[in-house]
Structure 1
Amino acid sequence: MDAAFDHSDPGAVATGLDRVRLMWRRGRVRQFRTAALLCLLAAALVVGVALAPAVFPVTALMVPLLLGSLVLNPRQLPWFVGWIVAMVVATLVLQAEVTSRIVAVAVIEGLMAAIVLVTARRRSSLGVAGNTGESMFVDLRDRLLNQGGIPALPAGWLVESALRSASGTPFAGDFLVATVLADDTRLEVVVVDVSGKGDAAGTRALLLSGAFGGMLGALAPEDFLEAANDYLLRQGWDEGFATAVHLSLDLVTGDFSVRSAGHPPAVQRHSGSGRWGVLPSAGPVLGLIEDAEFEVAQGVLGPGDAVLLYTDGMVERPRRDIEMGLDRMLGQAETLLHGSFVGSAERLVASLGSPDDDRAMVVVHRR
């Protein structure tokens, strides 16, 4: 690993810039080499088709075309497609007899080239090659999922989470962010439901998860939802609203506070009575009105107690009142959580809610 350099030293900065330029030049050389190899491959296939048509079919030119669509950047791809079209024309010229079948194959290859160009034009806004763009999406997806990871907690506490998207992919409009602060004595968790569903809301959820993650660790609990509301208002999105529920828990005493922004209420299970109680916090949806205020519900988690945070996909279904959905969730929770809370969030998400909506669940349990 390279040693770190002092940014205040002009010589060190110059060395760093030289390294960046060198890496950039190497990248350009690598891209040029790849494009040149693909062009040579296409030319070799043309010669092969002309000399040994029984071994090299005319359709062989689709191979470099497909490879080029995967590895070349949007700037290189148009002229490479032009090269492939020229090679197809050369193949027709070199044929001893141009049959209707060969003409049909050439037309199909021309259509494939047009499809690749249209796809490249859509990628040009991103500015990367096909496989690179997919790698970026995978990295962004992993970062979104990591934002929702539950940090290690002191002994005596169990926190589990589960997330299901309406589309069945890891991209969803529901997400959660969690962190432990103040020398491992305070847990902060926020569950958010972004407007929209599945992949359509995934990009907004990704942006908000990063922003909310930064605010969650830097602000006092009473300031978090206000800052989140201001952030959404500044974005100016057409569908820029979101609901959220925020839990701040003292891991030493069990004292907690819950604040909600247009979100279904958190619920608490009291181990002594075995009953569930709704935590009455309320507030406007994030991103709609300025200077919003959010009510707080406070309580204490004793040994055996639990708190559930969830999104509306867990309790809402078409033609069913949300109160009925909440009653059903609590009844199912009492059955599924009886005896053990391990794996509880996954069990609840799997058995409850609408498969046509994103669903998220967080279970906080004091052992």
Structure 2
Amino acid sequence: MTALREPARPAGPSDARRAWRSLARRGASPTSRLLVGLVVASVAIAGAILVWPDTVPLMSFTVPLLLASLLLGPRHLPWFVVFLLVMLMLALTGQAEISTRTVIAVAILFLLAFITLLTSFRRSRLGVAGALGESMLVDLRDRILAQGSIPVLPDGWYVESALRSAGGTPFAGDFVVTSGARAADRLDVAVVDVSGKGEQAGTRALLLSGAFGGLLTALAPADFLGAANRYLMRQDWAEGFATAVHLSLDLTTGDYEVRTAGHPPAVHLTAGSGRWTVRETEGPILGLLDDADFEVARGRLGRGDALLLYTDGMVETPTRDIGLGIDRLLGQAERLLRGEFDGGAARLVDALGSHNDDRALLLVHRR
């Protein structure tokens, strides 16, 4: 027996509502909802100008244009700008007369739309909206700072780092990286100065901080600078060199090893005599020579002793030799750290160096 099918009934308003609810349940992407909202706002502004031409100004279109520039990605932004200009031309049809003020307003809106399109084309290399791109940069900056966070140390040890970038921006070519909690009785830390300064060196510093953090954690202290040098050589950057100072400290005995790669030397305060000693070591700049050897300086931090690692921005200026800068650093350290080491790294960085160069300093004190 052949089953009889019920004839299909025509679709009505209830079917359309059910289809709309089904789409809503499945959900549109946030970008699509935002785009729809901006389109609706643009249409509403155009309608308001047509109804109340003497009350609603043409410059009201700058609000959705600004929001689109901040929130829409480069795939949707150009089409929305074109749509907005169409709405603008539609709104002009409701003007009783085209005055000089109206012409100027339209010219300004077209100029803003042109600037927005140029910005969109530049963002197309990244593929994200302006606000999202900024949040990604902030996240990267936070990650580079996290690489230099000091792990929890045993009682009797105080370690502090301070960083200031050229121009006061959050991105710098100087950074501090630590080995984290690889071993409870050892601290490995490196202070690195990437070629360039400020935002120009910030991207290379972001990349190197992650790579150097992994090398510092995975390798023996004697192998770190050699591996970092080989890593930089493989990058083949036009301006791809860096200097570094590496400290490996035994937190039980206070014994330490310091190695430098084209970097200013570490300085050691002996509490018994109150004298600062420069720990000179030799080593080529990272990223210039394939086979490089890095000398080691060994010592021991006793009770009350301190050690300073720093970048050349702390001791070198266009008008001052690095040797004189180290002497000035030692003088300021003797004055600012006398009897109070807490917060000493920040005090030294604020008091010394050139504000036109990145500055970084690490203070290690055995209480």
Kindly state the Cα deviation for residue 49 of structure 1 after the two structures are TM-superposed.
0.6
- How far does the alpha carbon of each residue in 1:124-176 deviate from its partner, in whole angstroms, 9 at most, with x for none? 11100111011111111111111111111000000011000012012000000
* Contact 2:151–2:181 (Cα < 8 Å) also in 1: no
The answer to whether 1:312 aligns with 2:312 is yes
SS at match of 2:292: coil
1:243 aligned residue: 243
Counterpart position of 1:171: 171
Question: Structure 2 matches for 1:143-292, cutoff 5 A?
Answer: 143-181=143-181, 183-292=183-292
Q: CA deviation at 1:180?
A: 4.3
Corresponding residue for 1:353?
Answer: 353
Match of 1:47? Answer: 47
Which amino acid letter does the alignment assign opposite residue 147 of structure 1?
Q
Cα pair 1:309 1:363 within 8 Å, conserved: yes
Q: Distance in 2 between matches of 1:309 and 1:291?
A: 25
Q: 1:252 to 1:208 in 2, by over 3 A?
A: same
Instruction: Report the counterpart of residue 17 of structure 2 in structure 1.
Output: none
The equivalent residue for 1:20 is none
- Normalised by the length of structure 1, the TM-score is 0.91
Q: Which amino acid aligns with 2:307?
A: V
**Distance apart, 1:28 and its partner CA:** 6.0
1:327-364 deviation digits (Å, cap 9, x = unpaired): 11101101111011101000100111111111000000
SS at match of 2:127: coil
Aligned-pair CA distance for 1:238: 0.6
| Alpha-carbon distance in 2 for matches of 1:27, 1:210 | 37
CA contact (8 A) 1:301 1:366 kept: yes
The within-5 A match list for 1:312-331 is: 312-331=312-331
Using the alignment, how far apart are the partners of 2:250 and 2:27 within structure 1?
Answer: 50
Q: Which residue of 2 aligns with 1:344?
A: 344
How far apart are 1:183 and its partner, in Å?
A: 3.5
Separation (CA, whole Å) in 1 of partners of 2:27 and 2:335: 58
- The 8 Å contact of residues 53 and 94 in structure 2, kept in 1 or not, is answered as no
Retained in 2: the 8 A contact 1:174–1:194?
yes
The residue type paired with residue 359 of structure 1 is R
Aligned to 2:20: none
The alignment's C-alpha RMSD in Å is 1.4
Unaligned runs of 5+ in 2: 1-24
Amino acid at match of 2:153: L
Q: How far apart are the structure 1 equivalents of 2:27 and 2:210?
A: 30
Match of 2:88 in 1: 88
Q: CA deviation at 1:94?
A: 2.1
SS at match of 1:286: coil
**2:335 counterpart letter in structure 1:** T
Q: 1: distance between equivalents of 2:248 and 2:265?
A: 15
Contact 1:305–1:365 (8 Å) recurs in 2? yes
The code of the aligned residue for 1:46 comes to A
Query: Distance in 2 between the 1:158 and 1:187 partners?
Result: 12
TM score, norm. by length of structure 2: 0.91
Amino-acid identity (%): 61
AA matched with 2:137? F
1:137 maps onto 2:137 in alignment: yes
Q: Distance in 1 between matches of 2:79 and 2:347?
A: 53
Stretches of structure 1 lacking an aligned partner (at least 5 in a row): 1-24
> Whose Rg is larger?
2
Provide the C-alpha distance between the structure 2 equivalents of 1:74 and 1:320, rounded to a whole number of angstroms.
48
Matched, 1:105 2:105: yes
CA distance in structure 2 between the aligned counterparts of 1:285 and 1:64, rounded to whole angstroms = 51
1:26 Cα deviation from its structure 2 partner = 7.5
- Structure 2 residue matching 1:258: 3-state secondary structure: strand
SS at match of 1:104: helix
Specify the alignment match of 1:11 in structure 2. Answer: none
- Give, in whole Å, the separation in 1 of the partners of 2:316 and 2:144: 25
